[in-house]
Amino acid sequence: MAAEAIAEKGLPVDEKYEPLYGQRCHVPSLEEYKAMYKRSVGPERDQFWAEQAQSLRWIRPFTKVSYENFAAGDVRWFTGGTLNVCDNCVDRWAESAPDRTAIVYEGDEPTDVKKVSFKELQMETCRIANLYKFHGGRKGDRITMYLPMVPEAASAMLASARIGLIHSVVFAGFSASALRDRMVDAQSALVVTADEGLRGKKVIALKNICDDAMAECPFITTCLVFKRTGGKVNMKEGRDVWATETMAGMRPYCPPEEMASEDTLFMLYTSGSTGKPKGVAHCTAGYLLWTSFTVRVVFDVHVGDCYASVADIGWITGHSYIIYGPLCNGASTFIFESVPTYPDAGRYWDMVQRHKITQFYTAPTAIRTLMRSGPEWVKKYDRSSLRVLGSVGEPINPEAWRWYYDVVGDKKCPIVDTFWQTETGGHMMTPLPGAHMLKPGSCTLPFFGVVPKVLDPTTGKELEGNDVHGVLVFAQSWPSMIRSVYGDHQRFLDTYLKPYPGYYLTGDGCVRDKDGYYWITGRVDDVINVSGHRVGSAEVEHALVQNHSAAEAAVVGYPHEVKGSGLFCYVILKEGVDESKHEDLKKELKGNVRAEVGPFAQPDHILFTSALPKTRSGKIMRRILRKIAENDTSNLGDTSTLLDPSIVDELKEKAAKVLK
């Protein structure tokens, strides 16, 4: 059964690669991994995590390591302890190694390079923190950030953590409407943005988008604007402030706020199976420990390395593995503003050569895009500095894995194929360099403290042994686990802890193969992974039916050779819509989605239909819609419960034309 599920994804079940031993691996062997893992989840669990927590700088020591009550959604780690995240990420290194490089920044142009020392980072962060305080920011307040990938983005986040503001960073590809919804949910009086952003020479009008969002948010009192391009923007008197100039007048030191372990550090909005995004709330100590520990062990990071995660701070990868995890280890972290194909397909590997990058972390979508350009773009550049390659955001297909391993890594660098989520805060299952046998497409084994289980989706019972296929859950808490959905704890319970009582539900299906290795087989809910971005089908459906010609819509994912999954939209039009205008209407509907959600969520296909396959109770049978979108109609399963089974033939015929 499990082998069949892997085969359905086109994955080779038995392909294996020997573990590659680095000279300084933190976990150098499988035997050491097993011993540490046993301690981390067994009777010595609290002692193990108390030992790991000594890597942080505490103001007051914790009195209790862990407490969990899944029924109430009450999870706590390191209670009684106090510390400050910014102090751990910046101050202690500014004190011990002030001239060490904290940030290596490369802008849209390869020539736009800047290095920021820990001392410089401390001073800039303190100035921004004092700017927040000057404009009324206080511990516990929310602050929304809509920023490009520039060093000021890191400073803005760290300054928030320094004085206890709860930051909500919104990906700068979201539309004004999506940004507004997140501002409203957070009720953030403070907003931070920039005049414009740059990506592959494309100018992104951040302040203008922010203005449109803020027009419906009267509770916003201050918008701090950094200068990136010098582009002309509107500045509303009494609300908008040029941060770049104003922060220069601020004191370069701001005392760090003493924060309790369970104080909220940030919230990050993620798509759900309903239209309203969820504000995933993460706490202070547990999150910081997990991100710093995982980045150190999974990527074999040491002081002196140039570690590069080429994600965006608007997603959890940017939070955990660009900002907090690397800086807490005192390592140099890379901030990249541009895209992998600008000015050409060699951009990533040119950066590796020029900056002597040691660890490189990107998404399968980027790898698949660069594969199309051929290996010559990689081999032009010296990549001998690379030690570890990482994959994030979605399961990586074996073809892309092998290209990454063979061509980019010259068969010398282990690939850490990391499985985790916004809600988990950091890596949950991943190979460890030097310790684990690698299998292309498999996230291998659990990280320390993680107890994965595979459940039968119907009965909820644990599937024992290996060679099983079901729903992936976790059986106990871990330090960086989501603590709540901001302002809606019941939604936290309903989404993650109530579906299978006693377990945290990931929402993903998985296989545990004959060797005990895990393979992620995709979402079991209505969230679609597009180029590593989680897109809720309900959000896209809502955007589609805002159009005056659309009566109803259903959105499903289908396999896409570059993006992993694409969006296939079925739309019922209102009566009287002129058929001759269908092509124009498709463009209009795609524009609606771009405007309401963002460009990354633009549909790939739109199919107009007279009806949708619904049961007699009115429920849309999405299983059938997915099969049709995948052009796999040989076995649609039982359709006897449909109100009108004939609609299936209509959809099959129309989809065949769309997919030609």
> What would the two tokens of residue 148 be?
């490009």
Q: Does position 51 have pLDDT exceeding 90, yes or no? A: yes
561 pLDDT band (50/70/90 cuts)?
confident
Q: State residue 275's pLDDT score.
A: 62
Q: What is the CATH number of the domain that holds 491?
A: 3.40.50.12780
Q: Based on the domain organization, do 205 and 289 belong to the same domain?
A: no
Q: Does position 278 have pLDDT exceeding 80, yes or no? A: yes
Q: State residue 71's pLDDT score.
A: 96
Q: Does position 273 have pLDDT exceeding 60, yes or no? A: no
Q: State residue 454's pLDDT score.
A: 97
Q: State residue 377's pLDDT score.
A: 97
Q: Are the C-beta atoms of 336 and 365 separated by less than 8 Å?
A: no
Q: State residue 180's pLDDT score.
A: 96
Q: Does position 322 have pLDDT exceeding 60, yes or no? A: yes
28 pLDDT band (50/70/90 cuts)?
confident
Residue 103 lies in a domain: no
Q: Are the C-beta atoms of 146 and 173 separated by less than 8 Å?
A: no
Q: State residue 526's pLDDT score.
A: 75
Q: Does position 15 have pLDDT exceeding 90, yes or no? A: no
Q: State residue 655's pLDDT score.
A: 87
Q: State residue 617's pLDDT score.
A: 61
Least confident window among 59-68, 162-171, 459-468: 459-468
Q: State residue 23's pLDDT score.
A: 67
Q: Based on the domain organization, do 506 and 547 belong to the same domain?
A: no
Least confident window among 120-129, 161-170, 315-324, 396-405: 396-405
Q: What is the mean predicted confidence (pLDDT) over 276-292?
A: 95
Residue 603 lies in a domain: yes
b (16+ CB within 10 A) / e for 232-244: ebeeeeeebbebe
Q: Based on the domain organization, do 346 and 480 belong to the same domain?
A: yes
Q: State residue 576's pLDDT score.
A: 86
Q: Based on the domain organization, do 532 and 636 belong to the same domain?
A: yes
Q: What is the mean predicted confidence (pLDDT) over 302-312?
A: 95
pLDDT digits (tens, 9 = 90+) for 423-440: 999 999 999 999 999 999
Q: State residue 645's pLDDT score.
A: 84
Q: Based on the domain organization, do 345 and 465 belong to the same domain?
A: yes
Which of 581 and 54 is assigned the larger pLDDT? 54
Residues 6+ apart with CB under 8 A from 2: 466, 467, 468, 469, 511, 512, 513, 514
Q: Based on the domain organization, do 244 and 294 belong to the same domain?
A: no
Q: State residue 129's pLDDT score.
A: 98
Residue 111 lies in a domain: no
Q: Based on the domain organization, do 36 and 171 belong to the same domain?
A: no
Q: State residue 538's pLDDT score.
A: 78
Q: Does position 642 have pLDDT exceeding 80, yes or no? A: no
Q: State residue 366's pLDDT score.
A: 92
Structural domain ending residue among the three candidates 523, 553, 585: 523
Residue 98 lies in a domain: no
Q: Based on the domain organization, do 500 and 539 belong to the same domain?
A: no
Q: Based on the domain organization, do 315 and 409 belong to the same domain?
A: yes
Q: State residue 310's pLDDT score.
A: 96
pLDDT digits (tens, 9 = 90+) for 170-203: 999 999 999 999 999 999 999 999 999 999 999 9
In total, how many domains does the chain have? 3
Q: Does position 650 have pLDDT exceeding 60, yes or no? A: yes
Q: Based on the domain organization, do 518 and 540 belong to the same domain?
A: no
Q: What is the mean predicted confidence (pLDDT) over 331-340?
A: 97
14 pLDDT band (50/70/90 cuts)?
low
Residue 276 lies in a domain: no
Q: What is the CATH number of the domain that holds 127?
A: 3.40.50.980
Look up the domain containing 424 and give its range.
Answer: 2-84+283-441+450-523
108 pLDDT band (50/70/90 cuts)?
very high
Q: Are strands 278-283 and 190-194 parallel, antiparallel or unpaired?
A: unpaired
Q: What is the mean predicted confidence (pLDDT) over 238-259?
A: 97
Partnered with residue 570 across adjacent β-strands are 554, 607
Q: Does position 633 have pLDDT exceeding 70, yes or no? A: yes
Q: Does position 130 have pLDDT exceeding 90, yes or no? A: yes
Residue 265 lies in a domain: no
DSSP string, 114-160: EEEEHHHHHHHHHHHHHHHHHTT--TT-EEEEE--SSHHHHHHHHHH
Residues 6+ apart with CB under 8 A from 646: none
Q: State residue 21's pLDDT score.
A: 64
Q: State residue 2's pLDDT score.
A: 60
65 pLDDT band (50/70/90 cuts)?
very high
Structural domain ending residue among the three candidates 235, 255, 275: 255
Q: What is the mean predicted confidence (pLDDT) over 595-617?
A: 87
Question: What amino acid is encoded at 569 in this protein?
Answer: C
Q: Does position 484 have pLDDT exceeding 80, yes or no? A: yes
DSSP string, 574-624: PTT--GGGHHHHHHHHHHHHHHHT-GGG--SEEEEES---BBTTS-B-HHH
Structural domain ending residue among the three candidates 238, 255, 272: 255
Residue 364 lies in a domain: yes
Q: Based on the domain organization, do 305 and 421 belong to the same domain?
A: yes
CA distance 507 to 520: 11
Alpha carbon distances (Å) from 426 to 169, 286, 430, 478, 634 = 17, 11, 11, 10, 40
Q: Based on the domain organization, do 506 and 533 belong to the same domain?
A: no
Residue 264 lies in a domain: no
Q: What is the CATH number of the domain that holds 614?
A: 3.30.300.30
pLDDT digits (tens, 9 = 90+) for 490-527: 999 999 999 999 999 999 999 999 999 999 988 887 77
CA distance 523 to 516: 21
Q: What percent of the chain has pLDDT over 90?
A: 75
Q: Does position 563 have pLDDT exceeding 80, yes or no? A: yes
